[in-house]
Amino acid sequence: MAVTGNRPAAARRLAAASLGRGDPVGWFEELYAAAGRGEAVVPWAEYIPNVHLVAWAADQEVTGSGRRALVIGCGLGDDAEYLARLGFAVTAFDVAPTAVAQAKSRSAGSPVEYVVADVLNPPPAWRGAYDLVVEAYTVQVHQGDARATAIGNIVDTVASGGTLLVVAHARADDEKRGSMPWPLTRGEIEAFATDGLVLARVDEVHDNMPPGRRWRAEYRRPEVVSQVRE
């Protein structure tokens, strides 16, 4: 599909056309490719790490110390590179091959492992493998069964003793949203606390990119301590 005219509107048109043909994620690749040709902008690309992730990490005095981190729907890689600078061994993935290629070329020589993968069908080796998992604004592009599958698959990646941080646009239970993205209700934020994951805190945060309420939620998987018989 040719991308013409107003650039943010071009992204919305690509999304609508993709959803219309029953392909809810295909437009991401089209958008990153069009942006690479200078024909569109990626509306969420700020070229800095997520401010809510940075504030949380500063507040918690998070350091990686070689522990493993996974970034969901990493886009152009700013959050992944930030976590690598904190000392994590980072894997970052996106369903759009062009996003992954652009992330790699923006950070040549980076220690981050960038991978093309789908949160709806992640590699089995990722189960329980990550000490820190960061999800920002990817679940909200999925609806229905896909949304529940994405949440379950993200939860699955958190290691024993690990942490999941979720940042998402927020909506009230009775607030209807017609078009993508579909912000998360408080109940959907609580739904990540499943399969042994415990909700540690939820903050309602704001920023201007674009203006609006967000959830920033932190979950912990209690460490399994193996019992040694005397």
Ligand X SMILES: C[S@@+](CC[C@H](N)C(=O)[O-])C[C@H]1O[C@@H](n2cnc3c(N)ncnc32)[C@H](O)[C@@H]1O
Q: Is 91 helix (H, G, I), strand (E, B) or coil?
A: strand
Q: Which of 39, 44, 149, 196 binds ligand X (CB under 6 A)?
A: 44
Binding of residue 164 to ligand X (CB under 6 A): no
Strand partners, 133: 70, 164
- Least gap, CB of 179 to ligand X (angstroms): 13
Binding of residue 100 to ligand X (CB under 6 A): no
- Smaller CB distance to ligand X: residue 39 or 118? 118
- Least gap, CB of 167 to ligand X (angstroms): 7
Binding of residue 75 to ligand X (CB under 6 A): yes
Binding of residue 99 to ligand X (CB under 6 A): yes
The count of chain residues that interact with ligand X, using the rule CB under 6 A, is 17
Compute how many other C-beta atoms are within 10 angstroms of the C-beta atom of residue 148. Answer: 14
For 51-86, b/e burial (b = at least 16 CB within 10 A) is bbbeebbeeeebebeebbbbbbbbbbbbbbbbbbeb
DSSP β-ladder status, 198-208 and 211-220 = antiparallel
- Smaller CB distance to ligand X: residue 200 or 209? 209
- Least gap, CB of 200 to ligand X (angstroms): 21
- Least gap, CB of 199 to ligand X (angstroms): 21
- Smaller CB distance to ligand X: residue 43 or 128? 43
Binding of residue 73 to ligand X (CB under 6 A): yes
Residue 26, H or E segment: helix 26-36
- Asked if the peptide bond before residue 181 counts as cis, ω within 30 degrees of 0, the response is yes
Query: Are the C-beta atoms of residues 162 and 189 closer than 8 Å to each other?
Result: no
Query: Are the C-beta atoms of residues 218 and 165 closer than 8 Å to each other?
Result: yes
What is the x/- site pattern for ligand X, positions 127-146, by CB under 6 A?
Answer: ---------xxx--x-----
Binding of residue 56 to ligand X (CB under 6 A): no
Closest residue to ligand X, judged by C-beta, is: 73
For residue 83, what are the CA distances in angstroms to 27, 36, 110, 139, 215? 27, 25, 11, 20, 20
Q: Binding residues for ligand X, per CB under 6 A?
A: 25, 28, 44, 50, 73, 75, 94-96, 99, 118-120, 136-138, 141
